[in-house]
Structure 1
Amino acid sequence: MHLDTSFVRAALDPAFLARLRDRFGTSLHLTDAMLRQHGANEAHFDVVLPDAVVFARSTQDVVDLVTLCVAADVPIVPFGAGTSIEGNAVPVRGGVSVNLGEMNQIVAVNADDFDCTVQAGCRREQLNEHLRDTGLFFPIDPGANATIGGMASTRASGTNAVRYGTMREAVLSLTVVTPDGKVITTARRARKSAAGYDLTRLYVGSEGTLGIITEVTLRLHPIPETISSAVCGFESLEGAITTVVQAIQVGVPLARVEILDDMQIRAVNAWSKLGLPEVTTLFFEFHGSPNGVAEQVEMVSALAADNGGGDFAWSNLPEERARLWKARHEAYYAAVALRPGAVGWTTDVCVPISRLPECITATKHDLAGASMPATILGHVGDGNFHVIFAMDPNSSDELREVKAINDRLVARALNMDGTCTGEHGIGLGKQDWLVKELGDAVDVMRVLKRALDPKNLFNPGKIFSL
């Protein structure tokens, strides 16, 4: 997607660069390869290079960098693992990308209180490996091995959200460096509080536009006694979706339930060598006691059979479950690989679950007429699904076609009282739709942005225009 970078800065002032070198030494990087790494993205947006990259190793590093950048009117863009989909970390006005990946310490684990505190660059897989012997785990799983700070910044969710919620529910408190160089803590570790504005929720999902998150305190959960996974193919897309909706309506506590349409199954079969029947398929996971899981399985199996589902392929072995979910997590790469040389355009919406069958069915009909491969997959347990287009990056006709299909999808979701993005965030790609979705509420967001970041230096150009 072409980005308007006509407002992009001149080269950084040599005196400012000298101050960066004095303060950060070898943590400052100016090579083309490093700049390109921080200007690229997982999706279809143009590469836009920052002027410099600084690797922060402490909250004080971030404070000092913010102080230098604000004094020199230089934009600053936080960077985690670089796995965001909507261009959330692309430095569209240049400036300094601050890489938080080396701030990856696990600060504290309070097992008795079911919480922990980590630095922003800690990866979710790293955290769960550390927690393994405590009997606890962090359930939010967006697929990519993202940083916790990045997940908080984009209000990520993923495959476990139907049972465990999203980052909105998982974050207890944040340490944030504000544009005036202050370090604030948004809350204490208490499980609830009525003390003032809920600043934690303000910063969760703000995509680095209001402050830079350096530490995150998280809710943890006990590792389930029994975990069982299953795969079930369906005669129709409608039958698969109806099974999920009915399971939720009767109170089955699904831990994960993912839908992959026939095209996506074809893609993961080729990419991950699964050998599944190429029909619309549900991936399930159940957590609980042995008896509880058995009851869940029995009920969902009966619902699936009534809706045209085939036999369930079960697995309780950790290595088999890991292989299954690895294939699901790599679905994006599998979908793009359907077409050599393609780039991925990924979009997501979320609707009330009662409208989900209608929304996905209409979208599938739209994709049937597309000139490029496109797949549907998603976290149907909470009404959230994705479309991945394998698009020719050099075709303006395909770009227009994909945009038109995406526009119809988002408009359909909004007409169903849904949202333009369930988990990717707004970033660069959905700013117009945010205004259509929330109207004058976006003006309140602009007021907050101007109040907290009056120079518009923190990740400028994201979420909405000023």
Structure 2
Amino acid sequence: MSNTHIEATIAALRDILGDRLSTGSSILDQHSHDEAYTTPVLPDAVAFPETTEEVSLILKVCSQHGCPVVPYGVGSSLEGHIVPVQGGITVDTSRMNRVLQINESDLDAVVEPGVTRVQLNEELRATGLMFTVDPGADASLGGMAATRASGTNTVRYGTMADNVLALEVVLPDGQIIETGSRARKSSTGYDLTHLFVGSEGTLGIITKLTVKLRGQPEHVAAATCAFPDIASAVDTVILAIQMGLPMARIELLDEVQMKGMNIYNPDMGLPEVPHLFLEFHGSEAGVAEQVESFASLVEEHGGSDFKWATRTEDRNRLWQARHNAYYAGKALRPGCEGLVTDCCVPISALAGCIARTKEVIAQSGLIAPLVGHVGDGNFHLLILVDPENADEMERAKALANQVNMLALEFGGTVSGEHGVGLGKRKYLAEEHGAAYALMATLKKAIDPGNIMNPGKLVTLN
């Protein structure tokens, strides 16, 4: 894009937004990267709209000038999703942060995209309801929908794809559309809502979401248990799922990750062997029955050190430790950076895929702790590297590539929840085959000027 066009775009947007269009160096730097280890690229300007109408005007101006547009939530994505690789305008939706409706009887809420999951749950506290998608970071709901986020509660409550009923979206030409409704099901037309969920900002900007809510459980119990090996832990989970035990959370941490957990959380003191962290929701009697059933499965598979936590503060401490697994992993090698990758396979293939993953980690000579949402077949590696060491970086990238290809070999996907962004795009043709070309066709139809987050998700000729 020429300097003349970007200058004209910025001038037109400044007339609309005033000082809510920033070209300040610190703001540009903040919006040049996310949490991924990707090369930062500065946008030309950052817009801070406060209404859907302002988003529409921004996109009309950018469409007119052929200016790239990158939607931005809070910058917590993990694959370079929001890096403005072609410059242009970053649209930061953080000021669109109102909870518009809480419909207690219908168990749904209508929110603007800048509302974060913690903010929504704070507003729901007095209602006895909760929003369940929990990716760890306090991400914005707009960003979570755009990346089809999930998290530790997915095994029971589902991903964002399962919890978004309707959207308001501004298309690249500025047109405002509504997809879906507050009804729990519909048989009318294409499922446009779920076209935009997971589209990573390449088709439009989400400006309103209707999301499902759930009742807060009467009773909650959490636990940790140790296993002699990963296969035993995974087999325990598979059998529990086959028995229909309604687990709310079930997380796997390997022996390397547990060593980091003990370093980062000195009072944890758990054995440095594979562990499951789990949680059950329900009535007091129901949870007690679930606990008893699961404990017997743990014993059958050689598990030990079964420790339960029912007090809120103890549960919070346990799950805070799990959510801090990234920092705990980095504690294994102070001063390092982490190259993060995730993949997902059918749960029956999980133990085999992890075993092969462990082999390629050993061959790489790198440290790479592993955690996983084991009930979903989803696991993550944190590959620890010295960013100044070119050889290590190449080995880390090669290791991530091997893990992605293993996921496909085992019938899975190269990302269960982190998404595509810049980091995973090269694998999509391999994973989706002819369907990948259809994605490009859809992109061209909706965004013929290729202004929406260009260079991500699909490649246009």
TM-score (normalizing by structure 2): 0.97
The one-letter amino acid of 1:380's match is V
Q: 372, 376, 380: which one pairs with 1:382? A: 376
| Residues 1:171 and 2:192 aligned together | no
In the alignment, which residue of structure 2 is the partner of 1:3?
A: none
Aligned partner of 2:273 among 276, 279, 283: 279
Retained in 2: the 8 A contact 1:263–1:278? yes
| SS of match in other structure, 1:385 | strand
**CA distance in structure 2 between the partners assigned to 1:167 and 1:52 by the alignment:** 30
Letter in structure 1 aligned against 2:349: R
CA separation in 2, counterparts of 1:77 and 1:222? 35
Which residue of the other structure, out of 443, 451, 456, is the alignment partner of 2:450?
A: 456
Q: Is residue 446 from structure 1 mapped to residue 433 from structure 2 by the alignment? A: no
**Distance in structure 1 (CA, Å) of the matches to 2:270 and 2:98:** 40
- C-alpha displacement of 1:165: 0.7
Equivalent of 1:21, from 4, 7, 14? 14
Q: Which moved more, 1:111-120 or 1:409-418?
A: 409-418
Counterpart selection for 1:351 from 345, 348, 354: 345
Distance 1:99 1:242 in 2: 44
Matching residue's letter, 2:75: G
Correspondent of 1:51 among 44, 55, 69: 44
Within the candidate set 241, 246, 250, 1:253 is matched to 246
Q: 1:40 maps to what in 2?
A: 33
Q: Which amino acid aligns with 1:59?
A: T
Match of 1:328 among 316, 322, 328: 322
Residues 9 and 344 (structure 1), Cα distance of their counterparts in 2 relative to 1, 3 Å cut? farther
Matches within 5 A, 1:24-103: 24-103=17-96
Query: Residue 5 of structure 1 corresponds to which residue in structure 2?
Result: none
1:11–1:83 CA distance, 2 compared to 1 (3 A): farther
- Determine whether 1:108 maps to 2:107: no
8 Å Cα contact 1:24-1:54 kept in structure 2: yes
Give 1:16 deviation, angstroms: 2.6
State the alpha-carbon separation in 1 of the partners of residues 142 and 353 from structure 2.
32
Q: 2:137 aligns with which of 114, 133, 144?
A: 144
Is 1:197 matched with 2:190?
A: yes
The residue aligned with 2:426 is 432
How many Å apart are 1:15 and its aligned residue?
Answer: 3.1
Structure 1: tracts of 5 or more residues without a match: 1-7
> 1:187 and 2:184 equivalent?
no
Looking at structure 2, the residues matched to 334 and 72 of structure 1 have their Cα atoms a distance apart, in angstroms, of 46
Q: How does 1:409-420 map to 2 (within 5 A)?
A: 409-420=403-414
Is 1:159–1:256's contact at 8 Å kept on the other side of the alignment?
Answer: yes
Cα pair 1:9 1:93 within 8 Å, conserved: no
Question: What is the distance in 1 between the residues matched to 2:365 and 2:54?
Answer: 49
Q: Is the 8 A contact 2:166 2:182 kept in 1?
A: yes
Give the 3-state SS of the residue equivalent to 2:399 in structure 1: helix
> What residue number does 2:147 align with?
154
Check the 8 A contact 2:220/2:281 in 1, yes or no: yes
Q: 389-398 or 173-182, which moves further after superposition? A: 389-398
How far the C-alpha of 1:375 sits from its partner, in A, is: 0.7
- In the aligned structure 2, how far is the partner of 1:200 from the partner of 1:391? 39
Secondary structure class of the residue paired with 1:113: coil
Report the 3-state secondary structure (helix = DSSP H, G, I; strand = E; otherwise coil) of the residue aligned with 1:191: coil
- Distance in structure 1 (CA, Å) of the matches to 2:153 and 2:4: 44
How many residues align? The count is 459
Deviations 1:45-86 (A, max 9, x none): 011110101111111111111111111111010000101001
Answer whether contact 1:157 1:167 (CA < 8 A) is retained.
Answer: yes
- Counterpart in 1 of 2:417? 423
- The 2-side partners of 1:226 and 1:152 are apart by 29
> 1:223-234 counterparts in 2 under 5 A?
223-234=216-227
Secondary structure at 1:443's aligned position in 2?
helix
Query: Match of 1:303?
Result: 297
User: Helix, strand or coil: the match of 1:90?
Assistant: coil
Structure 2: distance between partners of 1:434 and 1:272: 38
The secondary structure found in structure 2 opposite 1:393 is coil
Once residues 207 and 381 of structure 2 are traced to their aligned partners in structure 1, the CA distance between those partners, rounded to angstroms, is 32
1:142–1:157 Cα contact (<8 Å) kept:
yes
Match among 235, 247, 263 for residue 256 of structure 2:
263
Equivalent AA in structure 2 for residue 121 of structure 1: G
Q: Which residue of 2 aligns with 1:339?
A: 333
Distance 2:2 2:315 in 1: 49
CA distance, structure 2, for counterparts of residue 49 and residue 387 of structure 1: 28
Counterpart Cα distance in 1 of 2:292 and 2:430: 43
For 1:241, give the aligned amino acid: V
Rounded to whole Å, the distance in 2 between the matches of 1:305 and 1:364 is 25
The one-letter code of the counterpart of 1:418 is G
1:366 to 1:116, Cα distance in 2 relative to 1, 3 A? same
Q: Which amino acid aligns with 2:148?
A: R
C-alpha distance in structure 1 between counterparts of 2:418 and 2:391, whole Å: 25
- Counterpart secondary structure, 2:177: strand
How big is the shift at 1:9?
Answer: 5.9
Match of 1:122 in 2: 115
RMSD, aligned CA: 1.3
- Structure 1: distance between partners of 2:443 and 2:170: 15
Aligned partners of 2:6 and 2:67 also within 8 Å: no
Is the contact between residue 12 and residue 51 of structure 1 (CA under 8 Å) also seen in structure 2?
no
Q: Which amino acid aligns with 1:160?
A: N
